Structure 1
Amino acid sequence: MNKLLGSACLAVACTTTGAWAQAAAPGEPVIAQYSIDTTVRLMSDRRSRGISDSYRRPAAELHVEAAHASGLVGVFELGTVSRHVYPESDGYNALIAGGYRWGNPDAWHFGVGLAHERFPGAHFEAPTAIEIVIDPATGMPALAPAGVRDFHFTTSYAVLEFGFGAIEARYLNVISRDFRGINTGMVCGTLLLQREDPTSGLDCYARGDHGSRGSHLLDLDWQHAIDGRTWLLLHGGVQRVKHFSEANGWDWRAGIKHARWGLDWTLEAVGARMKTRELFVGFDGNGGSKRLDSTGVVFTIAKTF
Structure 2
Amino acid sequence: MKKNLLTLISIATMLSGAARAQTAAAPAATPEHTLTGNLTLASDYRFRGISQTYKLPAIQGGLDYSHSSGTYLGTWLSNVSGNSYNNGAGLEWDLYGGYKFAVAEGITLDLGALAYLYPGARLNSAPGVATGEKYTNVDVYAGISAGAFSAKLSVAATDYFGLNSTTAGYAYFSALKPAGSSKGSAYLDLNYNFDLGSGVTLGTHVGHMAVKRYSDLSYTDFKLSLSKEMYGLVVTGAAIGTDAKRDFYQAANAAGQNPKRLGTTGFVLTIGKTF
Aligned pair in 2 of structure 1 residues 277, 54: CA closer, same or farther (>3 Å)? same
Aligned pair in 2 of structure 1 residues 191, 253: CA closer, same or farther (>3 Å)? closer
Q: Quick check: 1:241 aligned with 2:211?
A: yes
Distance 1:192 1:181 in 2: 12
Distance 1:245 1:151 in 2: 21
Structure showing greater radius of gyration is 2
- AA partner of residue 211 (structure 2): V
Q: Quick check: 1:155 aligned with 2:137?
A: yes
- AA partner of residue 180 (structure 1): F
Instruction: Confirm or deny: 8 A CA contact 1:264 1:303 kept in the other structure.
Output: yes
Q: Quick check: 1:72 aligned with 2:42?
A: no
Q: Which moved more, 1:153-162 or 1:99-108?
A: 99-108
Aligned pair in 2 of structure 1 residues 246, 184: CA closer, same or farther (>3 Å)? farther
How far the C-alpha of 1:226 sits from its partner, in A, is 1.4
How far the C-alpha of 1:190 sits from its partner, in A, is 4.2
- TM-score, normalised relative to structure 2: 0.83
Pairs within 5 Å for 1:97-136: 97-103=96-102, 107-126=106-125
Number of the residue aligned with 1:283: 252
Pairs within 5 Å for 1:1-305: 29-103=28-102, 107-126=106-125, 149-176=131-158, 178-190=159-171, 193=174, 201=176, 204-205=177-178, 207=179, 210-274=180-244, 276-286=245-255, 287-305=257-275
Instruction: Confirm or deny: 8 A CA contact 1:126 1:150 kept in the other structure.
Output: no
- AA partner of residue 262 (structure 1): G
Instruction: Confirm or deny: 8 A CA contact 2:124 2:170 kept in the other structure.
Output: no
| Residue aligned with 2:170, SS | helix
Distance 1:30 1:278 in 2: 54
Aligned pair in 2 of structure 1 residues 105, 228: CA closer, same or farther (>3 Å)? farther
Distance 1:239 1:174 in 2: 11
Distance 1:125 1:65 in 2: 34
Instruction: Confirm or deny: 8 A CA contact 1:106 1:165 kept in the other structure.
Output: no
| Residue aligned with 1:45, SS | coil
- TM-score, normalised relative to structure 1: 0.76
| Residue aligned with 2:44, SS | coil
Q: Which sections of structure 1, spanning at least 5 residues, go unmatched?
A: 1-25, 128-147, 194-199
How far the C-alpha of 1:259 sits from its partner, in A, is 0.3
Count of residues paired in the alignment: 247
Distance 2:250 2:146 in 1: 37
Aligned pair in 2 of structure 1 residues 269, 192: CA closer, same or farther (>3 Å)? closer
- AA partner of residue 46 (structure 1): Y
Instruction: Confirm or deny: 8 A CA contact 2:123 2:135 kept in the other structure.
Output: no
- What whole-Å deviation, never above 9, does each CA across 1:223-274 have from its counterpart, x for those lacking one? 2211251110111110111111111001110010000111000000001111
Distance 2:188 2:273 in 1: 28
The percentage of counterpart residues that share the same residue type is 26
How far the C-alpha of 1:105 sits from its partner, in A, is 9.5
- AA partner of residue 171 (structure 1): L
How far the C-alpha of 1:87 sits from its partner, in A, is 1.1
C-alpha RMSD over aligned residues: 2.1
| Residue aligned with 1:123, SS | coil
How far the C-alpha of 1:123 sits from its partner, in A, is 1.0
- AA partner of residue 247 (structure 2): E
Q: Which moved more, 1:38-47 or 1:150-159?
A: 150-159
